[in-house]
Structure 1
Amino acid sequence: MEELPQLKIGFIGAGNMAFGIAQGILKSGNVPSSNVIVSAPSKNNFPRFQEMGVAVTHSNEEVVDGSRLVFLAVKPHLIATVLNGISEQVTPQHIIVSMAAGIPLARLEELLPVGSCVVRMMPNLPCMLQEGAVLLACGKGAGQEVGFLLKSLLSTCGLVEVGPETWIDVHTGLSGSGVAFVYVFAEALAEGAVKMGMPSALAQRIAAQTILGSGRLLRDGGKHPAQLRAEVCTPGGTTIYGLHALEKGGLRAATMGAVEAATERARELGCK
Structure 2
Amino acid sequence: MLEKKIGFVGGGNMAKAIIGGLVKSGQVAPSNIWVFDRKADTNQALAREHGINAAESAEALAREVDILFGAVKPGVILKVLKDLASQLKKEALVVSIAAGVTLDSLATVLGHDRKIVRVMPNTPALVNEGMTSVTPNALVEQPEVDEVVAIFASFGKAAVVSEYLIHSVVGVSGSAPAYVFMFIEAMADAAVLGGMPRAQAYEFAAQAVKGAAQMVLETGKHPAELKDMVCSPGGTTIEAVKVLEEKGFRAAVMEAMQQCMAKSEALSKK
Give the structure-2-normalised TM-score. Answer: 0.95
Give the Å deviation of 1:152. 2.4
Pick one of 195, 220, 225 that aligns with 1:227. 225
CA RMSD across the alignment: 1.5
Q: For 2:264 and 2:115, how far apart are their aligned partners in 1?
A: 23
Q: Deviations over 1:5-29 (max 9, x none)?
A: x210011111111111111111111
Match of 1:23 in 2: 20
Which stretch of the first structure deviates more once superposed, 49-58 or 152-161?
A: 49-58
Match of 1:42 in 2: 39
Structure 2 partner of 1:163: 161
Aligned to 1:126: 124
Q: Is the deviation greater in 123-132 or in 93-102?
A: 123-132
Contact kept in structure 2, 1:24 and 1:128, CA below 8 Å: no
Pick one of 165, 176, 200 that aligns with 2:174. Answer: 176
Deviation at 1:258, TM superposition (A): 2.1
Q: 1:209 to 1:50 in 2, by over 3 A?
A: same
- 2:257 alignment partner in structure 1: 259
Q: Is the 8 A contact 2:63 2:89 kept in 1?
A: no
Distance 2:22 2:167 in 1: 24
Q: Read off the aligned partner of 2:256 and give its amino acid letter.
A: A
Native 8 Å contact 2:18 2:151 kept in 1 = no
Aligned to 2:60: 62
Number of aligned residue pairs: give it. 269
The match for 2:79 is: 81
Q: Quick one: distance in 1 between partners of 2:164 and 2:17?
A: 25
TM-score between the two structures when normalised by the length of structure 1 = 0.94
Q: Name the SS of the counterpart of 1:45 in structure 2.
A: helix
CA distance in 2 between counterparts of 1:103 and 1:152 reads 22
TM-superposed CA distance for 1:117, in Å, is: 0.2
Q: What is the aligned counterpart of 2:100 among 102, 110, 126?
A: 102
Counterparts of 1:233-272 in structure 2, within 5 Å, are 233-272=231-270
Distance 1:58 1:10 in 2: 12
Shift of 1:49: 4.7
The code of the aligned residue for 1:191 comes to D
Q: CA deviation at 1:48?
A: 4.1
How far apart, CA to CA, are the structure 2 residues paired with 1:51 and 1:235?
54
Correspondence for 1:196: 194
Number of the residue aligned with 1:140? 138
The structural deviation recorded for 1:58 is 5.7
Distance in 2, matches of 1:182 and 1:49, equals 34
Task: Verify the 8 A CA contact 1:90 1:112 in the aligned structure 2.
Answer: no
Q: One-letter code of the match for 1:104?
A: T
Pair 59,262 (structure 1): closer, same or farther in 2 beyond 3 Å: farther
Measured in 1, the distance between the counterparts of 2:148 and 2:61 equals 19
Could you tell me whether the CA contact under 8 Å between 1:91 and 1:116 is conserved in 2? no
- Quick one: distance in 1 between partners of 2:64 and 2:266? 34
Higher relative contact order (CA 8 A, sep 6+): 1
Alpha-carbon distance between aligned partners in 2 of 1:265 and 1:42, rounded to the nearest angstrom: 32
Structure-2 separation of matches of 1:63 and 1:248: 57
CA distance in structure 2 between the aligned counterparts of 1:182 and 1:113, rounded to whole angstroms:
39
Amino acid at match of 1:152: A
Distance (whole Å) between structure 1 residues aligned to residue 249 and residue 97 of structure 2: 30
Larger deviation, residues 57-66 vs 7-16: 57-66
Cα distance in 2 for residues equivalent to 1:193 and 1:264: 34
Deviations 1:192-240 (A, max 9, x none): 1011111111101111111111111111111111111111111111111
Q: Residue 149 in 1 paired to residue 115 in 2?
A: no
Query: 1-side partners of 2:175 and 2:47: how far apart?
Result: 26
Answer yes or no: is the 8 Å Cα contact 2:5–2:64 preserved in 1: yes
Residue 57 (structure 1) shift: 3.5
User: Aligned-pair distance for 1:184?
Assistant: 0.7
Instruction: State the partner residue of 1:7.
Output: 4
The answer on whether the counterparts of 1:41 and 1:58 sit within 8 Å (CA) in structure 2 is no
1:215-268 deviation digits (Å, cap 9, x = unpaired)? 111111111111111111111111111111112222211211222222222222
